[in-house]
Amino acid sequence: MKNFISVHDVVSPSFGGDGKSIDALVQKALMCKANPFADKTLGAGKRMGLIFLNPSLRTRLSTQIAAENLGMQPIVFNVGSEGWTWEFEEEAIMSGTSVEHVKDAAPILGNYFDVLAIRTFPGLKIKEDDYSELFIKQFIKYAGVPVVSLESATLHPLQSLTDILTITECMQNSPLGNGRKPKIVLTWAPHIKPLPQCVANSFSQWINTWDKAEFVITHPQDYELDEQFTKGATITHNQEEALKDADFVYVKNWSTFSDYGKIYCNDPDWMLTEEKLKQTNNARIMHCLPVRRNIELSDEVLDSQHSIVTQQASNRVWAAQAVLSEILKSNG
């Protein structure tokens, strides 16, 4: 594994291809969880730069812990508050607010660190700019070291690996029986502001590639995601219909894709409640966090036995550790 920016970096012949590749990485994560320090010398003498262009809690801390468990030295750099403003456009005339070009910064960071992990958000203004993934691709182009996405303009692969790890763990502890696939529902939820499509895109991409679930996406009209990520899923505007017999329900807000970055609907009836869960198969409830309580999810659901959000967030460490372990092994 050279870089880790999407499921395509995992799906490879060396892992077995498609869903087998994801399962292999999930099993690695479970091994890390069972014995966190088994590979504590793997990253000895190596430094990891965690570059944040946006705020973070779980992603930042879990990746730091994962790196330290492998013997690496993680160093965090918050670009907005601690560094110069970066320019990412090629051949830019830097007469504006940007002070340093990524062509100059990335190679230097590549000399300082053995692995770079980068967190950036979309602007939600111009779809083509965000979906080009310019920021993270420029680092891959110029840094000369492996790059791990800590969330990009369109995807959040570490979160998605964590999600499948958590689902797998739950199914191992409480098998569904009859060898049936779990029914997994991704449901849109209200929010007070437009949010990126990253988590929803990424979850859809990984679940569809995993191909071990009945996958349903439900959202109001006009909230369709990019088809490159949702192809293979059943999509409905009827949340009640989608939730019927669900084993896992992933709750997430996202803004519009077609008319990019907008809020068309904020209907509170889309918030998940205990009443709605009665038609599920005693579903486990997932959310990537942070969550707006009683906007996206009700207190009664978040604080109930249905919620596995704490388990999900805790598993971020083991997903990150599995990925870093593979990158260290692949790149010496």
CB neighbour class for 77 (10 Å; exposed up to 12, middle 13-18, buried from 19):
middle
> What CA–CA distance (Å, rounded) separates 30 from 35?
9
The model's confidence at residue 12, banded by pLDDT at 50, 70 and 90, is low
Domain of residue 177, CATH code: 3.40.50.1370
- Together in a domain, 48 and 163: no
Per-residue model confidence (pLDDT) at position 287? 98
Q: Rounded mean pLDDT of 130-138?
A: 94
For 272, residues 6+ apart whose C-beta sits below 8 A from its C-beta are: 187, 189, 249, 251, 285, 296, 297, 298, 301
Dihedrals φ, ψ of 204, to 5°? -60, -45
Instruction: Flag whether 198 is in a domain.
Output: yes
> Are 301 and 327 in a shared domain?
no
Average pLDDT, rounded, for the chain? 94
pLDDT of residue 17: 58
pLDDT of residue 96: 74
13 confidence band (pLDDT: 50, 70, 90): low
Number of domains in the chain: 2
Per-residue confidence (pLDDT) for residue 176, from 0 to 100: 82
Same domain, 170 and 82: no
Q: Which band of pLDDT confidence, cut at 50, 70 and 90, is reported for residue 16? A: low
Q: Which pLDDT value is given to residue 40? A: 96
Please tell me whether residues 84 and 136 are part of one structural domain: yes
* pLDDT (0 to 100) of residue 91: 76
Q: Are residues 219 and 117 in the same domain?
A: no
31 and 114, same structural domain? yes
Strand boundaries in the chain, DSSP class E = 47-52, 73-78, 86-87, 100-101, 115-119, 147-149, 183-188, 214-218, 234-236, 248-252, 284-286
The reply to whether 2 falls in a domain is no
182 contacts 214 by C-beta, under 8 angstroms: yes
Residue 275 shares a structural domain with residue 197: yes
Split at pLDDT 50, 70, 90, the class of 149 is very high
Q: Look up the domain containing 81 and give its range.
A: 7-155+316-331
The answer to whether residue 1 is domain-embedded is no
Over residues 288-316, the mean pLDDT reads 97
Residue 79 is predicted with a pLDDT of 87
Q: Does pLDDT of 129 surpass 70?
A: yes
SS (H, E, C) 132-150: CCHHHHHHHHHHCCCEEEC
User: Which residue type is seen at 80?
Assistant: G
Same domain, 30 and 150: yes
Cβ distance 218 to 186 under 8 Å?
A: yes
Q: Say yes or no: 208 and 123 in one domain.
A: no
Q: Residue 209, Cα to own-chain centre: how many angstroms?
A: 15
pLDDT of residue 223: 97
